[in-house]
Amino acid sequence: MIPLYQPFLPRKSIIYANEAIRSNWISSLGKYSSLAAEKLAEIHGVKFCILTNNGTAATHLVAKSLKKKYPTIKKIYVPSACYVAAYNSLLYDKIGWEVEAVDLSEETWNSDFSCIKPEKNSALMVVHNLGNIVDVLKLKEKFNIPIIEDNCEGFFGEYGGYPSGSKSLASSLSFFGNKNITTGEGGAFLTNDESIYNYSNKIKGQGQTSTRYIHDELGYNYRMTNVQAAILLGQLEEIDTIKEKKKKVFNYFRERLSQIEGVTNQAIEANTSHSMWMIGARFNPERFNVSKLEQELGANGIETRKMFYPYTAHKHLKFKGATDISSLINSQVLMLPSYPELKKLEIDKISSTIEKHSKTKNTN
């Protein structure tokens, strides 16, 4: 079986995790929590980092930070399709924001925010679908409104030479088991704004004041454990190795797919670098039956996933906005295996299976 993803855990992660367990600091306190947070902030070039128990919690802190910093915000523009956690994070507190979806680009599979004319007291939530980076710097030049980032799929990506997630008001990371860097679960909140860092750091830990067990604000238990932070630090210290492995897989896979008629790679926006998180391929329906291809890949021991559904597929989301392109992309795109230690022979097998399906369909 060729899985969609499997984590790469360097020896350091195992050593540090064992040290954390032996120290008995296995909950949120311990040296690895501060060391990993400092390392993440350094890598992203930001002043402040908060480790969280998962990426959704981090994205919720991002959403709450936007409301705290800009209480007059009434409307948020979001992608018409992305992982549902981004949407949910805006709704947990029933703030009453109007949420409007912006349809995807057929080329990048990200929202084409450049086509909108934002209303007064509005903001953008940028999501980097499959790790394909949106140029946040360009959006900041075009629009004079706050921008937040769900960067959960974007770690390793860049815009304008800066790490994705580093130039917006605040951003989130995910360290779920299928991410470039993983702690099984886990996430992080990043910002350069000290006021929202202090606010988010407080509510992350139940809203506690400087006096222990005295709480003056509704908070959450969003803390990462020291053991998870130890696993995280070991990977961050080997980040160049992981990046190089991902780069080889990403580039070779896109090269092989580009050789197959009827298959299109995700287009990468100018002045950005893809995070290389997930390989996606778009299949021309004139040459491919995507449902049958998905079945055939599975029968050959190759795991895949469909592209994210448009927001209209989720019954609890009552947004407005077009979904024509996101529906089209959902019907034509599959996510393919892309983990760091995926071998060339395995990429060749996946590509050959796709090519064979194309030829079979063409002769029917």
Q: How confident is the model at residue 300 (pLDDT cuts 50, 70, 90)?
A: very high
Q: Residue 362: what pLDDT?
A: 58
pLDDT at residue 360 greater than cutoff 80 = no
Instruction: Give me the helix-helix angle, 290-299 and 344-363, nearest 10°.
Output: 130
Q: Are strands 75-79 and 279-283 parallel, antiparallel or unpaired?
A: unpaired
The two three-digit tokens of residue 141, written as one number: 């030049």
CA–CA distance, 186 with 225 (Å, rounded to integer): 9
75-131 pLDDT, tens digit each: 999 999 999 999 999 999 888 899 999 999 999 999 999 889 998 999 999 999 999
- DSSP H/E element including 79: strand 75-79
pLDDT, mean of residues 153-176? 98
The two three-digit tokens of residue 104, written as one number: 């995807």
Q: Residue 348: what pLDDT?
A: 98
- Give 364 or 222, the one with higher predicted confidence: 222
Cβ-proximal residues to 1 (8 Å cutoff; 6+ apart), any chain: 301, 302, 303
202-215 pLDDT, tens digit each: 999 988 888 888 88
Q: How confident is the model at residue 285 (pLDDT cuts 50, 70, 90)?
A: very high
Q: What is the pTM of this model?
A: 0.95
pLDDT at residue 29 greater than cutoff 80 = no
Instruction: Give me the helix-helix angle, 344-363 and 239-258, nearest 10°.
Output: 20
% helix, strand, coil for the chain, step of 5: 40, 20, 40
Cβ-proximal residues to 160 (8 Å cutoff; 6+ apart), any chain: 135, 137, 138, 167, 271, 272
Which residue shows structure tokens 């060749």?
348
pLDDT at residue 52 greater than cutoff 80 = yes
Residue 289 near residue 362 (C-beta atoms within 8 A) = no
pLDDT, mean of residues 265-285? 97
Q: Residue 361: what pLDDT?
A: 62
pLDDT, mean of residues 353-361? 84
pLDDT, mean of residues 35-46? 98
Q: What is the dihedral of CA 36, 40, 46, 49, to 10 degrees?
A: -50
On average, the pLDDT of the chain sits at 95
